[in-house]
A and B are shown apart, each in its own frame.
Chain A
C-alpha cells in the first residue's frame, strides 16, 4: 500500500502543487455541473440568456416572470407534466440489471481469459475488440426487423440484454486486465490444495477482485444510464428511459422545446447519484482500495 506511509514525508512545495492541481481539476470537472444545478432553478431566458450570463446569476427574467429569484417550473414540468418519473423508474431497472448481468458474465469470462494461455483466448479478446469497434447505431438498425418479428421489441428485457451484449467486450477486456494483475500463484496454490477451478475462483479470487469489479461496474452502470442509441430505438414510449425522454424535451420543428425541463431532468437524475456516492463513499473508495493485492 503506497499512500499512507508515504504522505508524511512529502515536501510542502509538492503538497501545494498537488492541492492546487486538485482544486483546479475540481473546478473544471464540477463547475459545469454546479452551474447547471443553479441554473435549473431559473427560467430559460436567464439560464440560456442571449443578453448576458449575469442574468443566470441574478435571475433578472426569473424575477420578472415568476416574481421570485428561483423557480421550480422546470422540475414541475418534467416530473408532473411530462411524466419523467416513469422514465426515471425504467432507467433504474435497466441500469441495475445491465450492471449486475454484465458483471456476472464478465467476471467469469474475464477470469477465464486471464488464466488461459491458449491462442484462442487471445483471438477471442481480439474478436471482442473488433466487435466493440462497430458503431452502435448500425447494430441497432439491424436489430429492428428481427426484434419486431420475434415480438420482443419495445420491452425492457430486450434492451437490457442488448446493452449487456454490446457492453460485454469492454467488460471482458477490463476485467481481463484486472485479473492479469492478480498473481496466478493465488488460485493455483488453492487448486494444488484440492479445489476445483470454480472453487478456487470463488474462495480465492472473488475476495480480492473487488477493485476491478467496482471500477468495471461503474462503467457498466454509466453505459446503461447514459445510453441513447439503444434505448431510443428499441423501447416504446412508455418504456422509455431517461436520456431519450430528455431528448424529447429539446424541441423540434413541430414544437418549441422546453430546455429547462431537460436541464431539471438532468439535475434530478444526477443528484440521486451524488447522494448515493456520498452515502456509500466508504464502500466505493474501499472497493477501489481495500481489495489491493498484497505481494
Chain B
C-alpha cells in the first residue's frame, strides 16, 4: 500500500504546487512533451503551456539550442520522444521530408477557433504548423549621424552605399556600415536576403536544379562586397550578436540586423550615449532596382508529432494553444513580434512589420533549401573575405550544392 499512498500524496502535492499557475486548458488527460529552441519568447510559451499540467496531464519542455539536431531522431521513434516540436521556416523542412508531423486541420476545427488564418502554415492544403511569431533582418540607422552628414533615410542598398560614402567623407565615422557576414550560417542568410530582394528564384521551376548563377546572383554578391568596403576590417568575425554590440558601442551608423535583437538595442542599457534614442528601425533596403525589402521573413511555429497517440496529440495541441494564448502574448508583448490576435507592435517590432508590409518574401521552404544554405555558408567565405571573384564563388556554391543534393537524392 505504501508506494501507492506516496504516489497519491505526491500527485496531490504536485497539483497543489501548480495550483497558483493552474489554468483550465480543457484537457482531460495526456502527455505533452515540448522540444524547442532556447530563447526568451519560447521559454515564455513553454511556461504558459506548462500551466496546463494537472493530475492527469503532464507537460514537460526541453528548450535547447540543439533542437535542430534532436528533432528528427526524437520524432522518428514510436511513440515519439516529443509530442510538440517548435520549428521555424528552415527547421520544419527535415520533419516534412521524413513525414514526422501530422496535419492539424481536425484539431484546429475542434480546439483552434481563436487562431488567425494567417497563422496557418499549409502544405498541399493541409495545415502542418501553427505560426505564432515572426522575425527577420531589417535596417537600423542612426538619425543623428544621417542628419549631420546631410543624407535622407536610405531606401535601397544604393542609397546606403552613397550615405556611407558621405558619412565617411564628412569624417563622422570611418566604418559606418554593418551586416552580419561572418562565414557560416550568418553569411548564407545574408546572401539569401539579398537574392530574395532581387525577386529571382533559387531553383529552376519544378526541379531541385540550382538557378542562382544569373545576373541577380551576381548583383547580390556585388552589393555584399561593396558594403564590406565601409565595414570594420574585422567584419569577418561579426555575427548578429557581435554586430548588435558594435552598433550599441556607437561604431556603426547603418546596419541590417535581426528584428529580435531590436529590443535590447533600443533600451539604453549598455549602449554608448546617444545611440539608443537616435536609432530608427525600418524595413530592409531594396536591391537592384527592386521594390521589396531585401530580407527573408521568418516565422516560428509549433508542429505536432505523427508517432504519438491521438489523445496525446489533442492534449499537446490544446496545451500549445494555451501556450500561445493572447494572455501569454499580453504578458510578454515586447519579447517578440507576435502573429497572435490582438498584438500591437511595440517600437522594437516596427522593422519586421515594415518588412512584411513592404512585401518581403518568406525564407524558402523547399526540401533542398537547407543543403543550399550549408553550401553558401562555407563557399562564400573567400568571396566575402575578398580573395575570390563572384563567378568563382557562384561556381563553388553550385558545385558544393550539386554534390550534396545528389547524395541526398534530390538531383540525379
How many residues in B have their beta carbons less than 8 Å from beta carbons of A?
Answer: 33
Q: Is B261 an interface residue (CB 8 A)?
A: yes
Contact of B69 among A48, A144, A153, A257 (CB under 8 A): A144
Q: Give the complex CA separation of A66 and B151 in angstroms.
A: 37
Residues of B within 8 A of A149 (CB): 77
Which stretch from A15-23, A85-93, A207-215, A232-240 is at the chain B interface? A232-240
Which stretch from B105-113, B206-214, B243-251, B326-334 is at the chain A interface? B243-251
Residues of A within 8 A of B39 (CB): 252, 254-255
Q: Is B65 an interface residue (CB 8 A)?
A: yes
List the B residue with the shortest CB-CB distance to A150: B77
List the A residue with the shortest CB-CB distance to B300: A254
List the A residue with the shortest CB-CB distance to B81: A148
Residues of B within 8 A of A50 (CB): 245-246, 249, 251
Assess the A257–B70 pair: CB atoms within 8 A.
no
Residues of B within 8 A of A244 (CB): 64-66
Contact of B240 among A43, A48, A247, A253 (CB under 8 A): A253
Assess the B260–A254 pair: CB atoms within 8 A.
yes
Residues of A within 8 A of B119 (CB): none
Q: Is B269 an interface residue (CB 8 A)?
A: yes
CB contact under 8 A between A145 and B77, given known A45-B270, A253-B240, A254-B39: yes
Assess the A48–B245 pair: CB atoms within 8 A.
yes
Contact of A144 among B63, B70, B258, B260 (CB under 8 A): B70
Contact of A256 among B41, B251, B264 (CB under 8 A): B264
Assess the B74–A144 pair: CB atoms within 8 A.
yes
Q: Is A51 an interface residue (CB 8 A)?
A: yes
CB contact under 8 A between A257 and B135, given known A65-B270, A144-B73, A248-B38: no
Residues of A within 8 A of B264 (CB): 256
Q: Give the complex CA separation of A98 and B77 in angstroms.
A: 29
Assess the B41–A236 pair: CB atoms within 8 A.
no
0 or 1 for each of B57-74: is its CB under 8 Å from A? (1 = yes): 000011111100110011
List the A residue with the shortest CB-CB distance to B244: A256
Assess the A145–B260 pair: CB atoms within 8 A.
no
Residues of B within 8 A of A183 (CB): none
CB contact under 8 A between A44 and B241, given known A148-B74, A148-B81, A254-B37: no
Q: Is B325 an interface residue (CB 8 A)?
A: no
Q: Give the complex CA separation of A32 and B39 in angstroms.
A: 30
Q: Give the complex CA separation of A253 and B186 in angstroms.
A: 9
Q: Is A251 an interface residue (CB 8 A)?
A: yes
List the A residue with the shortest CB-CB distance to B42: A254
List the B residue with the shortest CB-CB distance to A238: B62
Q: Is B40 an interface residue (CB 8 A)?
A: yes
Q: How far is the CB of A146 from chain B (nearest CB, A)?
A: 9
Q: Is A217 an interface residue (CB 8 A)?
A: no
Assess the A148–B251 pair: CB atoms within 8 A.
no
Assess the A237–B38 pair: CB atoms within 8 A.
yes
CB contact under 8 A between A148 and B73, given known A43-B270, A253-B258: yes
Q: Is B91 an interface residue (CB 8 A)?
A: no
Residues of A within 8 A of B62 (CB): 154, 236-238
Residues of B within 8 A of A256 (CB): 241, 244, 261, 264
Q: Give the complex CA separation of A256 and B378 in angstroms.
A: 25
Residues of A within 8 A of B41 (CB): 254
Q: Is A141 an interface residue (CB 8 A)?
A: yes
Within 8 A of A (CB), among B72-90: 73-74, 76-77, 81
CB contact under 8 A between A252 and B81, given known A65-B269, A237-B62: no
Q: Give the complex CA separation of A236 and B70 in angstroms.
A: 10
Q: Give the complex CA separation of A278 and B186 in angstroms.
A: 44
CB contact under 8 A between A236 and B64, given known A65-B270, A255-B40: yes
Q: How far is the CB of A9 from chain B (nearest CB, A)?
A: 53
Contact of B66 among A148, A232, A238 (CB under 8 A): A232
List the A residue with the shortest CB-CB distance to B336: A254
Q: Give the complex CA separation of A256 and B244 in angstroms.
A: 8
List the B residue with the shortest CB-CB distance to A140: B69
Assess the A247–B65 pair: CB atoms within 8 A.
yes
0 or 1 for each of A220-262: is its CB under 8 Å from B? (1 = yes): 0000000000001100111010001001101111111100000
Contact of B135 among A43, A51, A148, A254 (CB under 8 A): A254
List the A residue with the shortest CB-CB distance to B261: A256
Residues of A within 8 A of B73 (CB): 144-145, 148
Which of A45, A50, A254 gathers most chain B CB within 10 Å? A254
List the A residue with the shortest CB-CB distance to B37: A254
Residues of A within 8 A of B260 (CB): 253-255
Q: Give the complex CA separation of A161 and B127 in angstroms.
A: 42
Residues of A within 8 A of B270 (CB): 43-45, 61, 65
List the B residue with the shortest CB-CB distance to A151: B81
List the B residue with the shortest CB-CB distance to A257: B241
Q: How far is the CB of A187 from chain B (nearest CB, A)?
A: 47
0 or 1 for each of B262-285: is its CB under 8 Å from A? (1 = yes): 001000011000000000000000
Q: Give the complex CA separation of A252 and B244 in angstroms.
A: 11
Assess the A253–B261 pair: CB atoms within 8 A.
yes
Within 8 A of A (CB), among B308-354: none
Assess the A237–B64 pair: CB atoms within 8 A.
yes
Q: Give the complex CA separation of A44 and B248 in angstroms.
A: 12
Assess the A45–B76 pair: CB atoms within 8 A.
no
Assess the B261–A237 pair: CB atoms within 8 A.
no
Q: Given A50-B245, A149-B77, list of 11 further CB < 8 A pairs?
A: A65-B269, A144-B69, A144-B70, A145-B77, A148-B77, A240-B64, A244-B65, A252-B241, A253-B135, A253-B261, A254-B135
Interface residue ranges, A against B (CB under 8 Å)? 43-45, 48, 50-51, 61, 65, 141, 144-145, 148-149, 151, 153-154, 232-233, 236-238, 240, 244, 247-248, 250-257
Chain A to chain B contacts (Cβ below 8 Å), 14 pairs: A50-B245, A144-B69, A144-B70, A144-B73, A145-B77, A154-B81, A232-B66, A233-B66, A236-B62, A237-B38, A237-B62, A237-B63, A248-B38, A253-B240
Interface residue ranges, B against A (CB under 8 Å)? 37-41, 61-66, 69-70, 73-74, 76-77, 81, 135, 186, 240-241, 244-246, 249, 251, 258, 260-261, 264, 269-270
> What 5 A-B pairs come out closest when comparing CB atoms?
A50-B249, A254-B39, A144-B73, A256-B264, A255-B39
